[in-house]
Chain A
Amino acid sequence: MDGWLEVHDSTEQTINRLLETLLTSGVVDGLLVPLRTPDGRNAVPTLVRDPALLERAAPLAPVLPVNGATVLGRITATGAPGRVGAVLRNCELRTAVELSKVQQVLLDDVLLIGMDCLGAYGVEDYARLVEEGLDAVTPALMAAREGGVEPLPGYAFRPACTMCERPIPGVGESYAPHIAIGLLGVPNDERLWVSLRDEELGEALGLEPAEEPAGRIEAVRALVAARTAERDRRFAAFHERVHDASSLLAEFATCILCQNCMRVCPICYCKECIFRTDVFDHPSARYWDWAARKGGVRLPSDTLLFHVTRMLHMAHACVGCGMCSDACPSGIPVADIFRTVGRAVQARFGYVPGRDPAEEMVIATFREDELRELGER
């Protein structure tokens, strides 16, 4: 069921009231939603059970300190005692779909609440704009009415956001949440465009059924096209930079092997990663052998092995959330790299991460009648 939700007071308050209704009416027993930290400089996913806390809810705050699907896993994977309404950006939503395939998120207990993503800033930038007394939400909503998604003057969105071609829940082979709140291409100061999976909820929320307005369809189309173009530009730039062994090494030359990119990657969920064991603590003499063979050996060793192995293990499910790039202290465009590689792997299998929880992950399954060109002479 699709329709309009009347805006009272402000857009954000209207969304917060909707969340409050879900919680107080018992549709959900808890809400996972970003709350402004007490100092206001961040908005962090919080499991809320007391509706009074929703006063601090900041579902539109353009900041992404953690991929929400990771924390959704914490509160569902081993059995949630109740139903949680999860307010997620579309990259987080697509991540939740991927993690559900490997039982790291249990979607049975989740009411998914998506929203048009109007872009996000890095954590540092967001804190700075709050310190400067800037309001990031109102201008973003104003621009979105006309179909625009632009950062504040003097600020830039996270690189991953600029190349995200799936910012709209349910659009472009992304999984439709139970509730999708549309802000783009609609008069979002008067009414919000809401898509629901289940009719009953529409009555509870006071939705006024309607046809999707043409202006919104056009705005979504234009945004997706612009993002796709930027994505392809970044893919091409990667290939321009990296085309042989030397240029690949150059791409990772400044890597300090802190493994932050892996720690924050929601898809890298393994509890016992081989790179966190002593497998790569080789006997001392081994390094000397390598140095003898190649003339020398970079230490710590296996930097490229770390990255290439991660690609081999998870690029098929990379959702392009960009947490890795955010976390890299050396400014390596990790997400650009993983998205480029991931796209090729995904294309080979016709796989779209975040499309459908009923699909199996690329490495979890096989077909007897595929890839016949491999293995034969």
Chain B
Amino acid sequence: MTDFEPRIVAFLCNWCTYTASDLAGTSRIQYPPNVRIIRLMCSGQLDPIYVAKAVLEGADGVLIGGCHPGDCHYQSGNYKARRRVAIIHQVLEQLGFDPDRVWLRWISASEGQYFADTVTEMVAALKEKGPSPFRRQWSV
């Protein structure tokens, strides 16, 4: 599985992690091109259905990026996102799907390097795990 390139769907908060990804780009920080970014106004805006959709469509990983605790632009969106991610992890695990394919990371707007490092780390971890078991499932 050496030529396996994981596909990551990233849901990033406009005020922090999305800006960090932008910063990584403009600062020419290298990171793997495996991530498809979807910008949200807040991590708390993420309905778990989008994560489920990505997972069932065969995304190898899902990254959710929000502001550090206490820093949410809308006060508490990231705390709500954190609960939802805990629920997502529990549900996926019960269904026999590796919950560690869904990552939550707090990455502030100035942490371009940390964003790049996170993507690099996640790509490496997913290469270890191999392709999502849903990648080739046509009967979902």
Contacts and interface: CB of A to CB of B under 8 A. Distances in A.
Interface of A: 239, 242-249, 253, 274, 290-291, 293-298, 301-305, 308-309, 311-313, 315-316, 340-341, 344-345, 348-349, 362-363, 366-368, 370-371, 374-377
Given A308-B95, A312-B52, 8 more contacts: A243-B96, A248-B97, A304-B140, A311-B91, A311-B95, A312-B49, A341-B95, A363-B83
Nearest to A308: B52
A249 B139 contact: yes
Contacts of A246: 133, 137
28 contacts: A243-B96, A244-B133, A246-B137, A253-B139, A294-B137, A296-B138, A297-B138, A304-B140, A305-B140, A308-B91, A309-B49, A312-B49, A312-B51, A312-B84, A315-B87, A340-B94, A341-B94, A345-B90, A345-B91, A348-B87, A366-B76, A367-B79, A368-B79, A371-B86, A375-B82, A375-B85, A377-B105, A377-B121
B80 to A, nearest CB: 6
Contacts of A274: 49
Interface string B69-94: 11000001011101111111011011
Contacts of A304: 56, 140
Contacts of B121: 377
Contacts of B118: 377
Interface string B104-134: 1110000000000010010000000000011
B61 interface: no
A308 B56 contact: yes
Contact of A344 (B66, B93, B106): B93
Contacts of A345: 87, 90-91
B25 interface: no
Contact of A371 (B51, B83, B94, B139): B83
Contacts of A370: 82
Contacts of B140: 249, 298, 301-305
Interface of A is mostly: helix
Interface of B: 48-49, 51-53, 55-58, 66, 68-70, 76, 78-80, 82-88, 90-91, 93-97, 104-106, 118, 121, 133-140
Contact of A249 (B52, B76, B79, B137): B137
Contacts of B135: 294
Contacts of B83: 349, 362-363, 366, 371
A296 B138 CA distance: 5
B84 to A, nearest CB: 7
Contacts of A363: 80, 83-84, 87
Contacts of A294: 58, 135-138
A40 B140 CA distance: 43
A348 B90 contact: yes
A309 B51 CA distance: 9
